Amino acid sequence: MILFQSTSDLRSYISEQKAKNLRIGFVPTMGALHAGHLSLIKIARQKCDLVVCSIFVNPTQFNVASDLETYPRPLSNDIRLLSEGFCDVLFNPSVDEVYGNDFTKDSSDDYGSFIHLLEGASRPGHFDGVITVVKKLFLLVQPDEVFFGQKDYQQCLVIQTLIERNFPFINFNLCPIARENNGLAMSSRNVRLSKEEFELASDLFKNLTHILTNWKENAWLDALLEARTFLSKKPFELEYLEVCDQFTLEPLKAFKPNAIALVAVQLGKTRLIDNLLLKPTL
Ligand code: AMP
């Protein structure tokens, strides 16, 4: 695996690879890699000739300073995992290399009303920071295929909109959520959970599954309310649990066959999100 820290070095390397007509796959991350990230690399490996991963903890997408400061950064372990996972290129730039002195953010305001719901409401400015950095990275890496996890479902809708508008030649890949044995969605922030919290956190997936099991016209609403009541009890602080349209993210007023349940809670010092696509089971 080749490691780049400078944008100009990466730019010239990418030009050389483009000249060879290689299909470039790109997996942007913030590091502290786990099996979820590595599953994205694996899918990219199957579809592309050259797999590029970035590790960059993007300051403009954090809206809580302490979250940015304490974000885990186990770089040497990440490098080992990526090499073992057959990643070809790691781009790990400094903040200065990406932003220089200009921290102006792009605006996602006109991306559609979904931008202001759920994570958009809970984390003001977050998606502006995401599109700012992803745009810079796409321009640099010039990928043919990009790979994002369904774990951050709303982010996937944001990136799909960015691609439609600015990068129509990039193919977007939505990758499944990797979970711990107890159902908890893997996340870099899970290292902050105590052993007890880790076990409790499995209640998120259990309650999403309860909604899926009752995904029928006259049962879903009761299941949603039951799940909300469950997750409103301590030690969870429920931010949202909604069943939404898969594209607009508007909360459903009436049953429709395809939807998505999305949840965010605070558990101790850790914020957790998860989701489950809902379609009728036979
Ligand atoms: P992050 O490092 O948290 O910014 O995540 C980088 C990429 O990995 C994003 O596309 C995430 O959606 C994806 N990702 C994070 N956790 C998981 C998971 N448990 N399963 C699959 N993909 C994930």
Which numeric CATH code is attached to 188-277?
3.30.1300.10
pLDDT > 70? residue 282: no
Residues with CB under 6 A from ligand 1: 29-30, 36-37, 39-40, 148-149, 151-152, 175, 177-178, 185-188
Residues carrying an active site annotation: 37
Query: What's the gap in Å between 36 CA and the centre of ligand 1?
Result: 6
Q: In the prediction, which pLDDT does 230 show?
A: 98
CA end-to-end span of the chain, whole Å? 45
Span 134-172, pLDDT tens digits? 999 999 999 999 999 999 999 999 999 999 999 999 999
Span 83-133, pLDDT tens digits? 999 999 999 999 999 999 999 999 999 999 999 999 999 999 999 999 999
Span 188-223, pLDDT tens digits? 999 999 999 999 999 999 999 999 999 999 999 999
Q: Which of 29, 34, 37 to mutate to test the pocket of ligand 1 (most atoms within 8 A of CB)?
A: 37
Instruction: Record the tokens describing residue 48, joined without a space.
Output: 């592309």
Q: In the prediction, which pLDDT does 280 show?
A: 74
Listed by start position, the domains of the chain span: 2-175, 188-277
Element (H, E) at 133: helix 126-141
Dump the DSSP string for 254-279. Answer: S--SSEEEEEEEEETTEEEEEEEEE-
Instruction: Record the tokens describing residue 189, joined without a space.
Output: 């922030």
Which of ligand 1's atoms lies nearest the C-alpha of 179?
19
Query: What's the gap in Å between 42 CA and the centre of ligand 1?
Result: 13
- Distance, in Å, from the CA atom of 170 to the CA atom of 12, rounded to the nearest integer, reads 20
* Threshold 0.95, pTM exceeds: yes
Q: How far, CA to CA in Å, does 40 sit from each of 31, 52, 81, 147, 175?
A: 13, 11, 13, 6, 7
Which numeric CATH code is attached to 2-175?
3.40.50.620
What phi and psi, each to the nearest 5 degrees, are found at residue 40? -65, -40
